[in-house]
Each structure stands twice: as structure tokens, then as C-alpha cells.
Amino acid sequence: MTSKKTTPPRSTVIIMVRHGKTPSTGKILPGRATGLHLSDVGRNEAIEVAKRLSKLKKVSAIYASPLERARETAAPIAKILDKKIIINKGLLECDFGKWTGKELGKLMKLAEWSTVQRAPSTFRFPNGESFTE
């Protein structure tokens, strides 16, 4: 009895790209807030990522969340790779509830902040969800 060699299945590579910088990056907790667009720096970051990704041999799809900052980051990538952006709500960030849009400096002073930093999966944001959800 002879054994046949089988070819292993081809692997799928998924590259995650975080949205570029916005005017409020590092100042507030944006979460799912709409209306936040990329800053000039963020637009340049998106262009640089697009240039790097253009060197890939094959890109099958480009997905982005519906948030403006995510779509604006994906746009130069889609353009350089000649792909359409597929919007997927499943890529939305965690719902930070009452913390959405709050100043990070103020949030860092809350007792709950240490839990978010030490054991984030155990914390549920007020009127929001946990990271595991």
C-alpha cells in the first residue's frame, strides 16, 4: 500500500491596520464616535501604509469599519491596490458607553481605569460592553 502525499492547505494571511491619527488621538476615548476624521498626519500615515502594502503579491479584499477614520485610512490602500473597500460593522471598536468621547486624562483618574489597564477583559464599560463582547 502506498501513501499519497497531500499538499497542505494554503494559509490565509490577515493584516490588520489601525486607523491613522485623528486630531483627538491621545486626548479622548473615541470608541464608536462618528465624525472623527484623519488629521494631516493620519492621512500621511495611511498613504505610507498603502505604499508598504502595495508590495504584497496578492490582496483579496480590504475591509474597514463604517467609521470615517477607518474608511479614510483604507481609501489610499484600496486605491493603490485597485480594490473596493468592504464595510463591515463587525470591525467596530468596543462600545465604551458613557466613556465614549471623554478626556483620557479624566478617565485615568477613575478607580476603574486600573482595571482596564491590568485586566481589561474583566471590565464592562458603563452603559457599554466589555472587550470580550
The model's pLDDT over 26-50, given as tens digits with 9 standing for 90+, comes to 999 999 999 999 999 999 999 999 9
C-alpha 45/C-alpha 48 separation (Å) is 5
Whether residue 43 sits in one domain with residue 89: yes
Whether residue 86 sits in one domain with residue 47: yes
Question: Mapping DSSP to helix (H, G, I), strand (E, B) and coil, where does residue 130 land?
Answer: strand
Q: How far out from the chain centre does Cα 64 lie? A: 8
What percentage of residues in the chain have a pLDDT greater than 70? 98
- Number of Cβ within 10 Å of residue 80's Cβ equals 16
DSSP 14: -
Q: Kindly state whether residue 3 falls inside one of the protein's structural domains.
A: no
pLDDT at position 4: 77
Mean pLDDT of the chain: 94
pLDDT at position 115: 95
Whether residue 65 sits in one domain with residue 82: yes
Whether residue 57 sits in one domain with residue 102: no
The number of domains in the chain is 2
Query: What digits encode the pLDDT tens for the residues 67-107?
Result: 999 999 999 999 999 999 999 999 999 999 999 999 999 99
Any idea which residue has 467609521 for its cell? 67
Q: Which residues contact 57 (CB under 8 A, 6 or more apart)?
A: none
Q: Kindly state whether residue 43 falls inside one of the protein's structural domains.
A: yes
Which among 111, 110, 108, 112 has a CA at the least distance from the CA of 124?
A: 112
Which among 80, 79, 64, 69 has a CA at the least distance from the CA of 15?
A: 64
Whether residue 106 sits in one domain with residue 64: no
Whether residue 71 sits in one domain with residue 43: yes
| Domain span at 105 | 94-133
pLDDT at position 51: 97
- Residue where a domain stops, chosen among 93, 108, 123: 93
Whether residue 111 sits in one domain with residue 87: no
pLDDT at position 1: 58
pLDDT at residue 126 tops 90: yes
Whether residue 79 sits in one domain with residue 106: no
Query: What digits encode the pLDDT tens for the residues 3-24?
Result: 778 888 888 889 999 999 999 9
